[in-house]
Amino acid sequence: MSTIWNKEKVAELFELPLTDLLFTAQTIHRQHFAPNEVQLATLLSIKTGQCPEDCSYCPQSAHYDTGLEKESLLDVAGVIEDAKLAKANGSTRFCMGAAWRSPPKKDFPKVIEMIKAVKDLGLETCVTLGMLDKDQAQQLHEAGLDYYNHNLDSSPEFYKKIITTRTYEDRLVTLENVRQAGIHVCCGGIIGMGETRQDRIEFLLQLANLSEAPESVPINRLMAIKGTPLENAEPLDNLEFIRMIAVARIMFPTSYVRLSAGRDTMSEEMHALCFMAGANSMFSGDTLLTAPNPETNKDNQLLNKLGMSITKTDTQHANQVAG
């Protein structure tokens, strides 16, 4: 029987001594996943810049001058080559992101073509395209899309301080459209934007209260990009980030908990503690959309040092959960 979470229960987890919290998270992790495996995913920006949204953390917003040039939607052939390289480097999931409020009608068929082509390579497919209506979600399902990423970012209250062009409810509607279409949900957030621990608790509760828990939970550490309103944000304490990973693992025992943006600021020791806390997925590749990310070779060296390996397929996880 799944746990019914409330503010008090989640707050108690955050208050545990760190060693106790890590032990609990790692114990739960081992019940559902191979303990020394990490899933690699690659994220490609298929349409960059000039997004009409005003997300305070985003260098792709048209509202801020971050020096980012607008680019058109990529050609399908180029996306296929990037996907082949990602697969050769060990990624099992290929994610494609477009800086849109919602997918333009003229570009949507091309995205459908990309999904089908990447799927044919034997990779899991994921896209993030902004808001979706029911019909768009159904079309993505019919194309074979495995995951749709649409983050809640933070708590409902703090969200109002960082985004004004799209409501929290808008995001929840898109997530439900995705779920109803039969697509797996990838949904997480960003920490280190100036929110409080209470905001982080409320955010995790929002994820827990979705109609079904997300199968993938990316936890981003704010990258303070020059030119955005959050460029001078105070860096988040490293141990607080690790606590966030551990609590997410405990609350979402069968979900992939992914280290996403901000890994280039994390030491090898911090990565190791995040894996101890239950993180079992990370974005690989030199860039994340437009931001820097540790090089693939560096990630491979780290995993070798830790005696960890790259997850080859999701089948084992599916069998473990079913069992």
Q: Which residues are catalytic?
A: 51, 55, 58, 95, 126, 186, 258
- Residue 258 backbone dihedrals phi, psi, to 5 degrees: -110, 130
Q: In this structure, what token pair is assigned to residue 95?
A: 């994610």
Give helix then strand counts, H and E, for the chain: 12, 12
Query: Which helix or strand (DSSP H or E) is residue 306 part of?
Result: helix 296-306
Distance CA 107, CA 128 (A): 14
Rounded CA separation 275/255 (Å): 14
d(CA 137, CA 177): 6
Phi and psi, residue 97, nearest 5°:
-120, 135
Burial class (CB in 10 A: 0-12, 13-18, 19+), 76: middle
Sign of CA dihedral 268, 22, 312, 218: negative
Cα 63-206-171 angle, rounded to 5 deg? 40
**Which residues, 6+ apart, have CB-to-CB distance to 60 below 8 Å?**
48, 49, 50, 51, 66, 68, 99, 289, 290
On whether the CB atoms of residues 25 and 298 are closer than 8 A, the answer is: no
E strand or H helix that includes residue 267:
none
Instruction: Say how far apart CA 107 and CA 89 lie, in whole Å.
Output: 29
DSSP 166: S
Do 64 and 228 touch, CB atoms closer than 8 A?
Answer: yes
DSSP for 147-161, written as a single string: EEE---BS-HHHHHH
- Chain centroid to Cα 1, Å, comes to 26
